Amino acid sequence: MPKKVNKVVLAYSGGLDTSVILKWLQEEYKCEVITLTCDLGQEEELSGVEEKALKTGASKVYIEDLREEFARDFIFPMLRAGAIYEGRYLLGTSIARPLIAKKLVEVAVREGADAIAHGATGKGNDQVRFELTVMSLAPELSVIAPWRIWKLKSRTDLNNFAEKHGIPLSSGAKHYSMDRNMLHLSFESGELEDPWEEAGPGSYILSVPPEKAPDKAEYVEIEFAAGNPVALNGEKLSPAALITALNGIGGRNGVGRLDMVENRYVGMKARGVYETPGGSILYAAHRDLEGICLDREVMHLRDSLIPRYATAIYNGFWYSPERDCLQAFMDKSQEKVSGVVRVKLYKGNILPVGRKSPYSLFRKDLATFERDDVYNQADAYGFIHLNGLRIQGYGRRR
C-alpha cells in the first residue's frame, strides 16, 4: 500500500463499491481521483455515471467505449479456444478484467498518476486479475485495493458509508453484487450465499425463465470465418453488434442461464448466477462447426489444453507467456474453422441442427450406410487385430 499518492485512477462503475471507494480515497489520501468507466456493453447501466462521479468528487472522468475492442480482441480469441472454466462457466467477468486494467494503465500514464485503484475484494479473483495486468504492463504503478486495508468490512458498512456521504444507490446494488458486460451478467451475495436456496427472480435480467419462453422454436444461422463469428442469419455484423443481437435472441428464448458453485483462485468456493445468452449460443455453434472442420487429433489435443487456457484467464494470467503460447496453438487450429451452423433455440435449450463448411472433413461416401466403393470393411479385421495385441498380453496377466 503506498503511503503517499497525489493522483489515483479508479476503475469506476458507479455501483456501491466504487462509489464508496471514490469518496474514501479522497478522505484517506487527500489525493486527486480520476475515474475510468469502461463501456463493455453494460447498456443502460452507464446512464448518469459521469454526473455521479463528478458529484462524488472525481476531478476528471473518462468513459471509454471499448465494446468492439472487447469483442474482437478478448471475447473472440477466447471463443476460438473453446474456453470454459470447470466445465460450465464462460468466463464473462474474467475476460473483462485484463482490458479494464489495460485502460487503467493507459489513463494513469497519460495523466501522470501514481497509482490505480480498484473495487475488488480481498476474497475474490478480480484483485488478482487487475493487479497481474498492471504488473505486466506498468510495474512502476502502485495499486490501492481498499477492501484489503479499510475498516469497512461488509456491504452493510458500505451502504451506511454511502448514506452518510449522500451517495445515491440503486435498489439492486443493495441486494446483489453484479457485474455486467456484453458477454454476461453475474450475480453474487444475497440469498445466493446459501447454495441450497434457489436464486430469486431478481437474479435474472437478460433472459426470461425457460418456462416463460415462446412455445415455438426459433432458428438462427451463424457464419464463422477462421473460428470467429462474422454473420447472423446472413447479415454481416461487427463483433460487438453480433454478440448484442444474439443476446436479445437468446434472452427471449431463456437460454444461457447458469447457477454454479465454482473454485476461486484464492482458495474458497463461491456461488454465482450467470446469464450468458449470446455467448452460450456462440459457444455451442462454434463447437459444433469444429466437428466437421477439425482433424480428430488436433481436436483432442486442443481439448486437452482448454482447461489450462481457461484457468489462465480465470486466474488473471491473460498477459502471460503461457496464454500467449496457448493462443498461438488455438488460432492455428482455427484456420479452417469456417462455415455456417444452424441452431434451434427452444425453452432454454441450444440445439445445433445443421452445419456446413467449404473445409468440411466429413465424407458422405465414407460415412454412408448405403453401398460404397471407397471403404473396404474387411480392412477392419487387421486394424482391430493389431490394436488388440497389447490388450491380449495384458489380459493374460490377470
Residues annotated catalytic, as ranges: 17, 97, 126, 177
The CA–CA distances, whole Å, from 167 to 42, 128, 157, 288, 384 equal 21, 28, 13, 48, 73
Rounded CA separation 167/105 (Å): 27
In a 10 Å sphere around its CB, with 0-12 CB exposed, 13-18 middle and 19+ buried, how is residue 19 labelled? Answer: buried
Rounded CA separation 283/79 (Å): 7
The CA–CA distances, whole Å, from 306 to 67, 81, 87, 96, 205 equal 25, 7, 10, 19, 29
Closest CA to 326 of 21, 83, 133, 107: 83
Q: What is the largest CA-CA distance in the chain?
A: 83
CB distance 271 to 192 below 8 Å: yes
Q: Which three cell numbers stand for residue 192?
A: 445466493
Rounded CA separation 215/164 (Å): 50
